Chains A and B, each alone.
Chain A
Amino acid sequence: MTRHALSASASPTLLGRLLGWLVTGAATVSAVLGGLALAPSASDPPRGTVVVVVPHPDDEFQAWSLLDGYTVFVVLTRGEQTQYCDPAE
């Protein structure tokens, strides 16, 4: 056993272990809270853009329901009606 080692018999006392658990818990909670502090707040504008590719215009309505709060979005269709979306035509 080298002088750098903490052997089993020289392991931390009960108080030391309790402090270790406290530090571990506090560090974990701090890391989570710090990470959450960087999350966009409810008052912020939505971050990023979600592009939903839809084969039929009717389906766009489902996508719009997810886009609440966006001021700009792109519709990747030419405004065809559902009944005309026949690839054979």
Chain B
Amino acid sequence: MLVATVLLGSLLAAPEWVDHAVWASVHPADVLFPVFVTLSGCGLAFALRRGVRFGVLLRRTLVLLAAGLLYSAVVSWSWDVATWRVTGVLQIYAAVVVVLGLLHLVTRSWWGWAVVTALFAVADTVLLSGWAERCVGGVLTRECNPSGAIDTLVFSAAHIYQHGGAGHDPEGLVAVLGALVSASAGVTVGHLLLAARRTPRERPPGATAARPSGVTAARPSGVTAARPSDVTAAPASGVAVERPAGVFVERPAGVTAAVIPLVAVAAAFLAAAVALTWAPTLIGAQPVPMMKRLWTSPFALTLASATTIALLLGHLLVDRPATGRVLRGVTYPLLALGRNSLLVYFGSHVLMSVLNRPLPDGPSPGQIIASTVAVAGHVQLSYTAVLLLFWVLLTSLLHRHRLYLRP
């Protein structure tokens, strides 16, 4: 996903079919950020599985909001406070982080997050189809959509996308609800992956709980797990946990244990996307379109399904206990990019914004660099390769020194 972000960002002249869709459609550029949000949700499931640290959550949210305002100013190259855009991708990310953090106080189980995902998806669909019912022909347009009304009311036209001229804000409050669908789906996958990594094995009551191989820690005697969720929250694999109705022994499962759960949840996301698309037709309304501009639930869930399958393939390939040296070497750049995903995703956008801005008396810095580094006349190919190499080398260097951009 990060490689695709760098590749698309490096295009000196992006074809129309690659660039963001104007309205009710999905183009390749529309896919990147939602996939990033879905994977971030999965990562947050791992990060928050043992608890929520309010100080970290608050600091992360404030830093993301501040960085988002700075990002808006750099991209638009305008520092006028009266027209400063308040909404943006980093602001969406901040909202997602704070909501997911708080909801981890409510549930840390995969099924709980499946319910949260369903709740957000249904709410988003009701909002969009309810609005569409009031629009001409029952169709959401740039002139008649909830984002245009809500975001303009909350932030005022001067502080949203294209100063309200586009009739909507693809990173406004309505899009936040769609992003929460994507992120919650990712959290569901993350907790499902965590649950699949452990295979509790029941022992008959009274039997001695022998430690399986790989045991690194055990709970103190007398500690009882009152709920199955306590078993999954055990600090290390292979922990023997006594329960009133018997004994569970946790042991690490192989990567293949995740296949059936993740394929099932991916199929469920896809089925939910189809159901939510056509559900409004049962009451005579138009189907909810799959589109990024309003980040509809069918769009979010379809992408979540595809992302889950891609994540599973990566899990099977890379997370095996005995990964070969060659495979580790090949995947090292991807690991380095992923460890600094925030830096690469948002950094590449800022960098390209600066490089694509034409100089007062000539072409943009990007065009100058592209023509300078061109090999055998391949301007675009060489430019893309140089940019990709830059990010791989930068993140590899940072990864070597364990330096990561984390708000």
Chain A positions near chain B (C-beta within 8 angstroms): 1-2, 4-8, 10-12, 16-17, 20-21, 24-25, 28-29, 31-32, 35-36, 38-42, 44, 46-50, 66-67, 69-70
Contacts and interface: CB of A to CB of B under 8 A. Distances in A.
Interface of B: 50-56, 103, 105-108, 116, 119-120, 123, 126-127, 130-131, 133-137, 141-144, 146, 149-150, 153, 167, 174, 177, 230, 233
Nearest to A67: B136
Nearest to B132: A39
A12 B230 contact: no
B225 to A, nearest CB: 10
Contacts, number: 103
A38 to B, nearest CB: 4
28 contacts: A2-B53, A4-B53, A4-B55, A4-B56, A5-B53, A7-B51, A8-B108, A10-B51, A11-B51, A17-B107, A20-B105, A20-B106, A21-B107, A24-B119, A31-B127, A35-B146, A35-B174, A36-B126, A38-B149, A47-B135, A47-B136, A48-B136, A48-B144, A50-B137, A66-B136, A66-B137, A67-B136, A69-B136
B230 A35 contact: no
A24 B131 contact: no
A8 B144 contact: no
Main secondary structure of the interface of B (DSSP, over half): helix
Nearest to A23: B106
A6 B56 CA distance: 12
Contacts of B50: 7-8
Given A2-B55, A28-B119, A35 B131 contact: yes
